[in-house]
Structures are given as C-alpha cells and as structure tokens.
Amino acid sequence: MKYQRIQLILKDDFAKLQDTKILLLGVGGVGSFCLDCMIRSGISDITIVDFDTYDASNQNRQMWSELHEGEVKVQALKKHYPDLKTINVRIDEAWVESFDFSPYDLVLDAIDDTKAKLALAKKCHKKLISSFGSAKRLDPTKVQVGDIWKTYGDRFGSKIRYELRKSGFKKKYTVIFSSEEAKVKEKGSFMGVTATFGLTMCAEAIKKITK
C-alpha cells in the first residue's frame, strides 16, 4: 500500500492528513521539497502558488527543474502531481492582501519577498509556517524551528522581526530558520540546506495537522 509506512507511525491520525487543505506559497528550493514530502506522506489537497519559470540556475536545488527548463513551474509540477491545484501568479504584498486564505487549514510560506512575508504574518499568522533564509549556508544541522521572536543568526529574519515590531505586530507564528552565519554575500545555495528547510516545513505541517 502506498502510504502503509507512514500510517504505521501516524495510526489513526493519518486520516487527518487527507482531510487537510494546504496552501504552499513558492515551489523553489524549499517549496519543491516540502511539496514532494507532503504528497508522499498522504496530504492530497494542496494548492501551490508561484509565477516563475525553470532555468538552468535552479537545477542545483529544485526538484524536477532539470526536466522542465523554460517551463512555468506550477504547470510543470502538475505533470508530476496531477491532483495539485495551481495558481500562476507573483506573490507580492498586494496579492496577499487581496487573497482569501480562509479555505485553507495551513499556509506554508516558502517565498523571499519581504513585504509579502510581512503581509502574510499579519493576515494569517494563526495558520502560518514561514521559511527564512536557506541560501548561503552549508550546514543542515543548524536548521531549526521556533516562533518568530526566538529566531536568530539570520539577517533576513532580523529584518522581518524589526518590521513587524515597528508595525506593532506582537503575535507568534512558526518559523524555520538556520543559526548558521551566511558563508558568502552572493546568493549561493546548497541543496543539503535548502532541502532540509523544505522537509522540515513538511514535518512541521504534519505535526500541526495531527496535534
């Protein structure tokens, strides 16, 4: 049976995975691994949102990218996961503010647009799992999970916290981050870390679903 091995772990909680509606924002180095993990774990009602197309620079870290260079990501991924629901749009602050998140049980944020991330926190923090910077790092053992106010070691995360405080936002939500200092200034990336972020996001989603 396809899901027999995870059912042995989750037992009756496995049914909760199949009754959950997930919205995944961004299907790049983090999001693509999160997506694959969720589907292989039995989560079937997933909507992905992305606007980008695959190019050669994606191939060191993004699932399926080597097979679909030049194709729109959400359309290419639907070839591998036919039950996916897809939205091909740029995720920016205006889109977040206008989109209806109410049908979804969890919102998974694997984007890197600062203003959009801030808007997401303010609009749906109760069901949000957000990824901070996974680029420029080499050590997957430094990847951690915590609430937004307990993250550290990431300048991107520091900026998000600063902007949230400045706006008067005081709520908590779950964040995946790395305590490892960036190795380079350029946006280099290593799949060992980016994939770990994605797999950790999937695990946190399952933890919240079965809680």
* Strand-strand pairing, 21-25 and 45-50: parallel
Query: For 14-33, what is the mean pLDDT?
Result: 96
Query: For 131-139, what is the mean pLDDT?
Result: 90
Question: What is the pLDDT confidence band of residue 201, given thresholds at 50, 70 and 90?
Answer: very high
Sort residue 131 into left (φ over 0), alpha (ψ -120 to 50) or beta: beta
Please check whether residue 110 is in contact with residue 87, taking contact to mean a CB–CB distance below 8 angstroms. no
DSSP state, 69?
T
Question: What is the pLDDT confidence band of residue 148, given thresholds at 50, 70 and 90?
Answer: very high
CB contact set of 110 (below 8 Å; sequence gap of 6+): 24, 25, 26, 27, 28, 30, 31, 34, 131, 197, 198, 201
pTM listed for this prediction: 0.95
The 3-state DSSP composition of the chain as helix, strand, coil percent (nearest 5) reads: 45, 15, 35
Neighbours of 207 (CB within 10 A): 12
Q: For 62-96, what is each residue's pLDDT tens digit? A: 889 999 999 999 999 999 999 999 999 999 999 99
* Strand-strand pairing, 21-25 and 85-88: unpaired
pLDDT of 60 reads 85
Show the domains of the chain with their CATH numbers.
4-210 (3.40.50.720)
CA dihedral sign, ordered 59, 62, 63, 64: negative
pLDDT of 51 reads 96
